[in-house]
RNA sequence: GGCUCGGUAGCUCAGCGGUAGAGCAGGGGACUCAUAAGCCCUUGGUCGCAGGUUCAAAUCCUGCCCGAGUCACCA
């Protein structure tokens, strides 16, 4: 009886470092998708969370003089505050240290072991402790870890581990990729994954015999490898194999996920290993996996060593999180790398947000106050405003991650409204006493701005709300589009209440530019 | 080295077989409701290079140059 809901996820974030702008990017994209879906379908379920196991965490904890659990507990508020700073409306937040997750991972392990998809084997090779990685002899550089940021000594390890029979799914994965060329996007990532499948898969070790900070192997030694653990969050969070029947019903309603949003660096885990694991568990693969690109800063890769990591808290503080959300999704096509520079943010802020949108609201409200006694006039038709099919196009672009197209479409209405003012010249209509034409023009502006508030709400929730308030409407612009995006909904007589500019001029010049 | 993607106006990008496009930036203009914003007009490109296919190529094919990514457990 229950309705299907749109299920969208972000990666769970590895808490070994601080949140940076890239985390905000993926999360904002997911949030816009979730918010839009709530206005166009009925329900969305939006999951994000944190990845807390692994050796790096254990070491950081030791350095901090804390037990791993206490250590990760201390980090969580910082990560959750990122969600607050960016007005993220996640429905759930999973931690891999949650009891529900640990139980689910162990259950998955047992099921796969019973089915023969997990088997014991010996794993040996050159191991870099820092990177938690086995490297083949051929990869080593001067006998050291080939990771340019590591370069530590490696040691020969040989241990009894459990292996996942990934190779058994090679053919099925290939067939799935061929049958669903759109299931991994962008195309470039799809191609790379396909190439890996065509070159053949080997089984992978999914436990670490010598580590202790992780989920214990059921009835065995060691812990489950952090990656195998992490992927399962998408189902453990929504009640897979839960003892609670309500939770199990949630799972039935949500799985398979509509969209896993990921960073492009983790595509292999999500498009090759993850479907195979799900198939092993008798579950369906996610409908789509969409990878976003990297953000560079002033054309350089962001890295801690360069000290050029953009702090998402600081940037939101300076420009407002709405403006940063807008910038991230408007500046470049999703899936493509793009450069983050303060000049670019300032440009978008001033040109698109301040001059086009903010000023449109401001000049409209001034005129409504001057010419219409501060009230929305009687409804008039939409004249030539480009609203036909607009809602439908945005509703289609967003779930496909074409945020840029969506915003460009919306901005055509912004531009058209500005243009209409200049062409209609309400001040002249006023002088000549052409009240009917004046009122019609002012109505179109109010109604057009109402549309904009509704359409922009998923992208800029706070600014959209403020637009809504200044226009004098009750409640919120977060409304079902089927009802709200019809022309003529703005009620005659609504009192507008003009406020401070929506996107005031930035006080300070760009620093360090 | 193999493979993948990209190289189009100063910048960010769209177009992907039929007379070169948008936004921003630059230049000029008319206006005044407005956050000196908006509106109108406009400068600007041998579509990386060289061949080929075609009546017709930015768009298809080949080679080359440049940049990025990836090549198996790197969260």
Mind listing the pLDDT tens digit for each residue in A113-159? 999 999 998 877 777 766 666 666 666 666 666 665 566 677 777 88
Q: Has residue A475 been placed in a domain?
A: yes
Give the residue numbers spanning the domain of A496: 342-511
Query: Residue A268, CB, less than 7 Å from strand B?
Result: yes
Residue A251 lies in a domain: no
Considering only residues 407-466 of chain A, list those whose CB is below 7 Å from strand B.
415, 418-419, 421-423, 425-427
**pLDDT, tens only, A28-58:** 999 999 999 999 987 999 999 999 998 888 9
**DSSP labels, A192-259:** HHHHHHHH----EE-EETT--SSPBPTTSSSEE-HHHHHHTHHHHTTTTT-SSHHHHHHHHHHPSPSE
Higher pLDDT, A158 or A460: A460
CA of A186 to C1' of B33 (A): 45
Q: How many CA atoms lie within 13 A of A471 on its CB side?
A: 32
- Residue A368 placed within a domain: yes
How many Å from the CA of A352 to C1' of B11? 16
Which pair of tokens denotes residue A83?
Answer: 């969600």
A24 inside domain: no
Residue A402's domain is classified under what CATH number?
A: 1.10.730.10
Q: Is A357 within a domain?
A: yes
Assess whether pLDDT exceeds 60 at residue A1.
Answer: no
Q: Is the CB of A347 under 7 A from strand B?
A: yes
Residues 6+ apart with CB under 8 A from A370: A430
Q: Within 7 Å: CB of A165 and strand B?
A: no
Q: What angle is formed at CA A8 by the lines to CA A51 and CA A169, rounded to 5 degrees?
A: 75
Contact, A158 CB vs strand B, < 7 Å: no
Report how many domains make up chain A.
1
How many CA atoms does the CB half-sphere of A163 hold within 13 Å?
Answer: 16
Q: Residue A513 pLDDT more than 60?
A: no
Q: Tell which strand B nucleotides have any atom below 7 Å from a protein Cβ.
A: 2-5, 12-14, 23-25, 31-40, 68-75
- Does the CB of A88 sit below 7 A from strand B? no
Residue closest to A143 by CA, chosen among A158, A154, A156, A127 = A154
Q: Is the CB of A227 under 7 A from strand B?
A: yes
Domain contains A103: no
Q: Is residue A329 part of a domain?
A: no
Supply the pTM of this predicted model: 0.93
| Residue A107 lies inside a defined structural domain of this protein | no
């Amino acid at each position: 009886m229950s309705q299907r809901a749109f299920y969208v996820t972000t990666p769970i974030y590895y808490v070994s470092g601080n949140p940076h702008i890239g985390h905000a990017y993926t999360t904002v994209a997911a949030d816009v998708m979730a918010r839009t879906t709530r206005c166009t379908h009925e329900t969305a379920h939006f999951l994000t969370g944190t990845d807390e196991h692994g050796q790096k965490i254990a070491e950081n904890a030791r350095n901090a003089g804390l037990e791993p659990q206490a250590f990760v507990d201390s980090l969580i508020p910082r990560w959750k505050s990122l969600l607050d700073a960016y007005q993220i409306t996640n429905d759930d937040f999973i931690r891999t240290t949650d009891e529900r997750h640990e139980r689910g991972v162990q259950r998955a392990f047992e099921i796969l072991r019973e089915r023969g998809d997990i088997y014991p084997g010996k794993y040996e090779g050159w191991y870099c402790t820092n990177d938690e990685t086995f490297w083949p002899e051929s990869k080593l550089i001067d006998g050291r870890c080939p990771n340019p940021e590591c370069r530590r000594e490696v040691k020969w390890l040989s241990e009894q581990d459990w292996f996942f029979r990934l190779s058994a799914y090679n053919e099925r994965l290939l067939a799935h990729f061929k049958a669903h060329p759109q299931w991994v996007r962008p195309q470039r990532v799809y191609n790379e994954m396909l190439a890996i499948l065509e070159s053949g898969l080997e089984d992978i070790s999914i436990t670490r015999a010598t580590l202790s900070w992780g989920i214990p192997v059921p009835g065995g030694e060691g812990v489950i490898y952090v990656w195998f653990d992490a992927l399962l969050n998408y189902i453990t969070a929504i009640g897979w194999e839960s003892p609670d029947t309500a939770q199990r019903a949630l799972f039935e309603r949500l799985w398979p996920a509509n969209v896993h949003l990921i960073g492009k660096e983790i595509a292999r885990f999500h498009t090759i290993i993850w479907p195979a694991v799900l198939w092993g568990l008798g579950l369906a693969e996610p409908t789509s996996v969409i990878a976003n690109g990297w953000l560079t800063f002033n054309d350089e890769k962001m890295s801690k060593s360069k000290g050029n990591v953009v702090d998402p808290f600081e940037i939101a503080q300076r420009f407002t999180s709405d403006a940063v959300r807008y910038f991230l999704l408007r500046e470049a096509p999703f899936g493509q790398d793009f450069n983050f520079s303060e000049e670019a943010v300032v440009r978008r802020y001033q040109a698109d947000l301040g001059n086009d949108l903010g000023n449109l609201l401001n000049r409209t409200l001034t005129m409504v106050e001057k010419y219409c006694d501060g009230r929305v006039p009687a409804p008039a038709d939409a004249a030539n405003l480009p609203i036909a099919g607009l809602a439908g196009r945005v509703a289609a672009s967003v779930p496909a991650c074409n945020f840029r197209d969506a915003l460009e479409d919306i901005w055509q209405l912004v531009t058209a409204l500005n243009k209409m003012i200049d062409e209609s010249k309400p001040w002249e209509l006023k002088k000549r006493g052409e009240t009917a034409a004046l009122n019609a023009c002012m109505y179109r502006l109010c109604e057009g701005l109402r549309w904009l508030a509704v359409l922009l709400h998923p992208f800029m929730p706070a600014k959209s709300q403020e637009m809504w308030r200044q226009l004098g409407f009750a409640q919120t612009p977060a409304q079902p589009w089927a009802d709200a995006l019809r022309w003529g909904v703005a009620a005659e007589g609504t009192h507008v209440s003009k406020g401070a500019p929506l996107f005031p001029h930035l006080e300070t010049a760009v620093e360090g530019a």
